[in-house]
């Protein structure tokens, strides 16, 4: 019931997934095992003239072309699916007997909603629009950044103030980390955790394109996300969500819950080098891995699989491979990027990939990195090319690195 430092062991008793490969955990896992890509042309808004026109889209009936769901609406729709699935699996009643901690992106007033305000405004200046919005309480309500977690807190009856955690592309992992810490502190027996991402809007895609972060390889879409390949040229945005019910092992055992896996350790290291680039020595990344291993009480050779951050940008994949060699030596464990199939789900990625690691551990199967026709052999890693394969292992590492130098690693076990 206690870990190597005498802290409560933290286990996973419920998991949910929504990705471009499926609306639930079984369908996403099946897609990953088939090595199938979920990347397709974006249809919910006009992509004419945009550098990147494809994504790991999860569309809903409310998505009218030109008037898609807002980011907040899609976060809620995705999150409900993933959290409902996780809670049903955990067999916990509502109200949920613990707090909520989710990785989420910020939201803002999007252009279709701004156009609605314009229709009520006397003119087109910001002042005109702000005056018009004083009579639109529904705009204010949905524009609060807290809106998605307020919705989930009400839906699931979670305790306390719901945490909307953001560390950019490490948010999902940071949310799991905060949840684990709360359980280890003895503050709660369980936490409803995970991550949601729905930033695939025209303006956000334009912003990422201006940073040269997105792939321009639009045709065919399935081949665009190619982490660790010689021709990788940027990431593909993806929608998605993951839900995890985390409990102290004692609490889970006492209520007779099925233990699906364990969070063995979490570790992070801030990179003070640059906003978007890793320190060239790789030490901030390797330091995060080492901190996670130390937290888990494991040596590097205990890790049997690494789910890479693996965004398919030239910079990330090179730095990540280099940093893994720093930790694991010349021969690294198999390391695959499921972003090759799902796209980069940004704030949700850390949570989605933690769930994928837990599924890989349960099934003793490694998901592949697809589109490996020209793997960058200089990186010197086994990327599990193109085909899933059986593998005997008992611990996995999930890497997440965010803009702003936020590196977070999670070590997962079979429980």
What are the two backbone dihedrals, phi and then psi, of residue 304, each rounded to the nearest 5 degrees? -105, -10
Find, among 356, 362, 409, 145, the residue nearest to 258 by Cα: 362
Contact pick of 23, 27, 40, 118 for other proteins (by CB under 8 A): 118
Q: Is 270 in the site for other proteins (CB under 8 A)?
A: yes
Quote the least distance from Cβ 338 to other proteins, whole Å: 23
By beta-carbon proximity to other proteins, the closer residue of 110 and 320 is 110
d(CA 358, CA 377): 28
The pattern of x and - marking residues 170 through 189 that bind other proteins according to CB under 8 A reads: -x--x--xx--xx-xxxx--
Q: Is 211 in the site for other proteins (CB under 8 A)?
A: yes
Q: How many residues bind other proteins (CB under 8 A)?
A: 82
Q: 57, 196, 251, 344: which is the annotated catalytic residue?
A: 344
Q: Say whether 309 is catalytic.
A: yes
Quote the least distance from Cβ 182 to other proteins, whole Å: 8
Q: Is 48 in the site for other proteins (CB under 8 A)?
A: yes
Are the beta carbons of 346 and 199 closer than 8 angstroms? yes
d(CA 130, CA 143): 13
By beta-carbon proximity to other proteins, the closer residue of 22 and 265 is 265
Extended beta strands in 53-134, E state: 54-55, 99-103
Q: Is 161 in the site for other proteins (CB under 8 A)?
A: yes
Determine the angle formed by the axes of helices 147-156 and 71-90, rounding to 10 degrees: 30
Contact pick of 210, 230, 254, 387 for other proteins (by CB under 8 A): 210
For residue 7, count other CB atoms closer than 10 A to its CB. Answer: 16
Quote the least distance from Cβ 317 to other proteins, whole Å: 21
Cis ω on the peptide bond leading into residue 386 (within 30° of 0)? no
Q: Give the number of residues written for the chain.
A: 415
* Residues within window 123-152 making contact with other proteins, judged by CB under 8 A: 124-127, 129-137, 139-141, 143-146, 149-150
* Residues within window 58-87 making contact with other proteins, judged by CB under 8 A: 66
Sign of CA dihedral 254, 89, 97, 173: positive
Q: Say whether 4 is catalytic.
A: no
Q: Is 218 in the site for other proteins (CB under 8 A)?
A: no
By beta-carbon proximity to other proteins, the closer residue of 45 and 96 is 45
d(CA 114, CA 107): 13
Q: Say whether 274 is catalytic.
A: no
**Cα end-to-end distance, the chain, whole Å:** 11
Annotated catalytic sites, by residue? 169, 309, 344
């Amino acid at each position: 019931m206690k870990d190597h430092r005498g802290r409560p062991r933290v286990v996973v008793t419920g998991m949910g997934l929504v990705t471009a490969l499926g609306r639930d955990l079984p369908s996403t896992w099946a897609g990953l095992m088939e090595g199938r890509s979920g990347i397709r042309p974006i249809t919910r808004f006009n992509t004419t003239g945009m550098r990147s026109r494809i994504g790991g889209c999860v569309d809903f009936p409310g998505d009218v072309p030109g008037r898609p769901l807002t980011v907040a609406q899609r976060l809620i729709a995705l999150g409900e699916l993933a959290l409902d699935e996780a809670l049903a699996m955990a067999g916990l009643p509502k109200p949920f007997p613990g707090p909520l901690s989710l990785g989420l992106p910020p939201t803002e007033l999007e252009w279709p909603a701004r156009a609605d305000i314009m229709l009520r405004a006397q003119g087109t200046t910001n002042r005109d629009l702000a005056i018009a919005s004083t009579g639109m309480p529904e705009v204010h309500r949905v524009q609060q950044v807290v809106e998605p977690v307020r919705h989930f807190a009400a839906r699931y009856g979670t305790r306390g103030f719901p945490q909307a955690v953001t560390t950019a592309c490490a948010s999902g992992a940071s949310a799991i980390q905060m949840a684990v810490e709360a359980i280890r502190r003895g503050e709660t027996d369980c936490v409803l955790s995970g991550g949601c991402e729905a930033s695939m809007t025209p303006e956000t895609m334009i912003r990422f394109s201006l940073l040269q972060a997105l792939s321009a390889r639009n045709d065919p879409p399935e081949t665009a996300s190619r982490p660790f390949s010689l021709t990788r040229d940027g990431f593909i945005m993806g929608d998605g969500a993951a839900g995890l019910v985390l409990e102290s092992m004692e609490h889970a055992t006492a209520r007779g819950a099925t233990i699906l896996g364990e969070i063995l350790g979490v570790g992070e290291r801030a990179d003070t080098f640059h906003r978007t680039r890793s320190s060239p020595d790789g030490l901030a990344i390797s330091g995060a891995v080492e901190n996670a291993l130390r937290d888990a009480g494991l040596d590097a050779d205990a890790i049997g699989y690494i789910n890479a951050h693996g965004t398919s940008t030239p910079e990330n994949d090179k730095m990540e491979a280099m940093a893994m060699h720093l930790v694991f030596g010349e021969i690294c464990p198999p390391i695959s990027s499921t972003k090759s199939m799902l796209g980069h789900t940004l704030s949700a990625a850390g949570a989605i990939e933690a769930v994928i690691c837990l599924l890989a551990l349960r099934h003793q199967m490694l998901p592949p990195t697809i589109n490996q026709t020209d793997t960058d052999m200089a990186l010197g890693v086994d990327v599990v090319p193109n085909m899933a394969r059986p593998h005997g292992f008992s611990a996995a590492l999930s890497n997440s690195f965010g803009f702003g130098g936020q590196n977070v690693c999670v070590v997962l076990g079979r429980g």
